[in-house]
Each structure stands twice: as structure tokens, then as C-alpha cells.
């Protein structure tokens, strides 16, 4: 069953920006820490950023100062604002809880390339 739907990915040049959105079911969004993860083929999925119900935030060291996670509890939606994008940010980005639930969404592809 689909619990989250990610959107907002695309192709962007290095230094550019994208904003990802994650629409989640109310049951999940009102109960869990929400996280953004990313995966490159052949490499384990990694946590990029997470935000708890009170707004406390964690970031991976590789994205600190460039990415901003936020959540709109009224809309059951989480966001990931990505600025100063680098080619190494290229990945499929997923939204899930932290710790993760078994079912993952389709993800959204982010490609950073000139």
C-alpha cells in the first residue's frame, strides 16, 4: 500500500535548486519523524534529512548548509529544499519515516548535470 508520494525531482545544472515534496497519509504524518533518503544504484540508501513532530532536524553532513527540510502538519506534507546542488547529489530521493516503515514510495529522480 502506498503511504507516501514523492514529487519535484528533475534535471538541474550544478549550483541549481529543486524542491521536493512528500505527501503522506495523515496516520503516518501525525505519528512519525519524517525523513528524506536517497539511493544511487549499487550503494545503500542513505538518510539525507529528518524532521520530528516538534521541528527538530537532523542532516547528513554532506548536505548541511545546502538542503533544508520542513513539514506542513496541516497538509501532511514534508519538503526538501535543495540548493547549490552538486553532481554527487544525483540519486532517487525517497520519503519515509525514521526509523523506516516497510513500504517505500516510487521516489523521485534528481539528476544534477551540465
Mind listing the pLDDT tens digit for each residue in 67-98? 999 999 999 999 999 999 999 999 999 999 99
Q: What is the pLDDT of residue 2?
A: 59
Tens of pLDDT, residue by residue over 12-26, are 999 999 999 999 999
Average pLDDT over residues 23-50: 94
Q: What are phi and psi for residue 97, nearest 5 degrees? A: -80, 175
Kind plus residue range of the DSSP H or E element containing 78 = strand 77-82
CA distances from 53 to 12, 86, 88 (A): 31, 29, 30
Which grid coordinates are listed for 98?
525514521
Amino acid at each position: 500500500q502506498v503511504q507516501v508520494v514523492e514529487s519535484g525531482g528533475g534535471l538541474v545544472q550544478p549550483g541549481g535548486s529543486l524542491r521536493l515534496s512528500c505527501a503522506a497519509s495523515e496516520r503516518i504524518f501525525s505519528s512519525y519523524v519524517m525523513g528524506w533518503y536517497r539511493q544511487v544504484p549499487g550503494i545503500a540508501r542513505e538518510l539525507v534529512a529528518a524532521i520530528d513532530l516538534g521541528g527538530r532536524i537532523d542532516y547528513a553532513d554532506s548536505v548541511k548548509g545546502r538542503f533544508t527540510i520542513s513539514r506542513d502538519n496541516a497538509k501532511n506534507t514534508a519538503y526538501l529544499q535543495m540548493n547549490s546542488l552538486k553532481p554527487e547529489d544525483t540519486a532517487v530521493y525517497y520519503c519515509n519515516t525514521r526509523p523506516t516503515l516497510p513500504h517505500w514510495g516510487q521516489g523521485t529522480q534528481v539528476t544534477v548535470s551540465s
